[in-house]
Structure 1
Amino acid sequence: MIAGTRLLPFLCALLLTGCASSTFTTTWKTPDATPLGFKGEKVVAAVLMKDPAARKLAEDRLAMQISMRGAEGRTLYSLVPDATPGNEAQAKAALEAAGVKGAVVMRPVHVDRTVTVTEPYEAETYASFWGGYYGYGVSLSYSSPREATVNEKMVVYVETLVYSLEQNKLVWGGLSTSEDPDTLAQLIEELSVAAAAELEKQGLIKAR
């Protein structure tokens, strides 16, 4: 497993071809969950990555998605700009002073990379041994391999958690997979949309 803090080269530097496909493979909600009263309230977007630039980009995108769903999306980096990493008391005081009622947290937890190499295969060349395969095979055994096709596939696993800060309680959580994301921004936006759909399905937020 690759630690979340080591995912930056995959999430920020790689611009892959194709479209991302984000799916929640596992979800959970508290048994006594009731609809979240976040409409018009401040909800903080927190993306747990060590790289400041990547974190700001991701939190901006997530806060935008939160605001599009009726709450007032705020970013953790703007509310706690000078926080010491891991200083819970400092972060708690800042969010309480700002009147934040909820939190949506995303954390990259794992990346799977699969590389497939496919070399051309021409079986018809092997129809006869003499006057066919023998000369062909011997010539190739002393030369460089023929040009191969290389395909790379990346799957990113992200944990998404929704908290009611008034109750200091986890309301909903999910683990998602995203295949071949084009950019970090696209990944966050797709997961935000997918999470909203799951929360609506669970009756935790109302469709606008």
Structure 2
Amino acid sequence: MKKIIGIIAFAFLLSCSSSNTTIVQSWRDPETTVANEQFKKVLVVAILKNDVTRRIVETKFHEFNPGFKTSYNFLHQGNKDMTPEMIGKLLQLENFEGVVTLRLVDTKTETDYVPGMNTSLYYGAYGYNNYYGGMFGGWYGNYSPYFYDPGYYVQNTYYFIETNVFSLKENKLIWSGTTKSSNVEGHINETAGFIIEEIAEQMRKDGSLPSKPKK
């Protein structure tokens, strides 16, 4: 088995933990892995209505490794009437070996509870252990606002992005995963990076990528 992993593995192995994104489901072709495909040139296609967002997402992949090529340089208004067969021939002429697609499959607004903080019992116990009745020694009434923060409810909009990895050589889907992201507005660039990180971690778990090398 060849030791050279290829561009997708190289880029994904640069990942670390995410903050606003989680993986919710994934699937891989049991007969094929990204590692053994040896991809060197991959087209990234963000299937999004907003062209600015599309460019941001695709560029984020390119920033991980130049071998990821943004689709807006190949698939744009100038060739929007191309048939799938014509697009396939274009990709062959450009020597693409794989395609990664991302598309928004769902959005959901959920009400989440943010728990409050109540440290008055901690401070009360501290006083009790040092002197009797410390919790009621006068200071508690004055400082209690600093020790109690009530919980509250917030509405968050979650975006579900499906990412698919295709092998052009095998002409089939070899990996698919769906991520769930919140707090996306104004943070498209960061969220795109988090999606890559979650995908990488899941692909390592299911064997599509080798484990992260130890430092």
Under TM normalisation by the shorter chain, which class is it? 0.5 to 0.7
Instruction: Say if 2:97 is the partner of 1:98.
Output: no
Alpha-carbon distance between aligned partners in 1 of 2:81 and 2:187, rounded to the nearest angstrom: 26
Instruction: Say if 2:191 is the partner of 1:191.
Output: no
What does residue 59 of structure 1 align with? 58
Per the TM alignment, residue 39 of structure 1 is displaced from its structure 2 partner at its CA by 5.1
Structure 1: runs of 5 or more not aligned:
1-18, 117-148
Larger mean Cα displacement after TM superposition, 26-35 or 42-51: 26-35
TM-score (normalised: structure 1): 0.65
Amino acid across the alignment from 2:192 = I
What does residue 40 of structure 2 align with? 41
What does residue 200 of structure 1 align with? 204
Per the TM alignment, residue 74 of structure 1 is displaced from its structure 2 partner at its CA by 0.4
SS in 2 for 1:44: strand
Given that 2:179 and 2:198 are in contact with CA atoms closer than 8 Å, whether structure 1 keeps it comes out as no
Task: Render the CA deviation track for 1:170-208: whole Å, top value 9, x for unaligned.
Answer: 111111111223512122111011111222222223346
Alpha-carbon distance between aligned partners in 1 of 2:166 and 2:179, rounded to the nearest angstrom: 17
What does residue 78 of structure 1 align with? 73
SS in 2 for 1:99: coil
Matches for 1:157-196 after TM superposition, within 5 Å: 157-181=160-184, 182-196=186-200
Amino acid across the alignment from 1:90 = M
Q: Sort the Cα spacing of 1:87 and 1:53 in 2 relative to 1 into closer, same or farther, 3 A.
A: farther
What does residue 151 of structure 1 align with? 154
Task: Render the CA deviation track for 1:98-150: whole Å, top value 9, x for unaligned.
Answer: 1011111110111112468xxxxxxxxxxxxxxxxxxxxxxxxxxxxxxxx88
Given that 1:80 and 1:94 are in contact with CA atoms closer than 8 Å, whether structure 2 keeps it comes out as no
Alpha-carbon distance between aligned partners in 2 of 1:151 and 1:86, rounded to the nearest angstrom: 45
Amino acid across the alignment from 2:49 = K
Per the TM alignment, residue 50 of structure 1 is displaced from its structure 2 partner at its CA by 2.3
Amino acid across the alignment from 1:23 = T
Q: Sort the Cα spacing of 1:35 and 1:186 in 2 relative to 1 into closer, same or farther, 3 A.
A: closer
Q: How many residues are aligned here?
A: 155
Alpha-carbon distance between aligned partners in 1 of 2:90 and 2:37, rounded to the nearest angstrom: 19
What does residue 138 of structure 1 align with? none
